[in-house]
């Protein structure tokens, strides 16, 4: 991917992730779909791996399609992603968000595309 396109895509991902309210989670796939990349979940994950160092991007609110904390290794310690989610009132057990369906935030619905 061309550097300018990659940077633009990363910024698009970051802007969507900034919209996820505290206490809610979204998925890599839902964000990719919203951005017009039906099979771009891995690209969203790649972008978020770089966002962990950006405090204004709540990357901890993005999980896989089953509610699992698949990106947790990018947060410095194995438990940091779960800690951040728990601070927002989200229950996490065995690296999986509890009540996932009820706290799932879909950008396609919430941002009215």
- Environment class of residue 13 by beta-carbon count within 10 Å: exposed (0-12), middle (13-18) or buried (19+)? buried
Question: Beta 92-93 vs 96-97: how paired, if at all?
Answer: antiparallel
The reported pLDDT for the residue numbered 32 is: 96
Q: Within a domain: residue 26? A: yes
Q: Within a domain: residue 109? A: no
Number of domains in the chain: 1
Please give the residue range of the domain that contains residue 53.
3-104
> What CATH number is given to the structural domain containing 16?
1.10.10.10
pLDDT (tens digit per residue) in 50-73:
887 788 999 999 999 999 999 999
Length of the chain: 113
Q: Within a domain: residue 100? A: yes
Is this structure's pTM higher than 0.85? Answer: yes
The reported pLDDT for the residue numbered 43 is: 94
On the CB side of 68, how many CA atoms lie within 13 Å of its CA? 6
CB atoms within 10 A of CB 36: 9
Q: Within a domain: residue 112? A: no
d(CA 112, CA 70): 27
Q: 105: pLDDT confidence band, cut at 50, 70 and 90?
A: very high
């Amino acid at each position: 991917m061309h550097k300018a396109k990659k940077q633009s895509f990363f910024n698009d991902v970051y802007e969507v992730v900034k919209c996820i309210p505290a206490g809610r989670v979204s998925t890599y796939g839902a964000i990719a779909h919203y951005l017009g990349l039906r099979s771009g979940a891995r690209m969203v994950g790649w972008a978020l791996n770089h966002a962990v160092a950006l405090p204004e991007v709540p990357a901890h609110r993005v999980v896989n399609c089953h509610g699992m904390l698949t990106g947790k290794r990018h947060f410095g310690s194995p438990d940091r992603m779960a800690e951040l989610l728990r601070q927002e009132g989200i229950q996490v057990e065995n690296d999986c968000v509890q009540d996932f369906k009820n706290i799932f935030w879909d950008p396609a619905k919430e941002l009215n595309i």
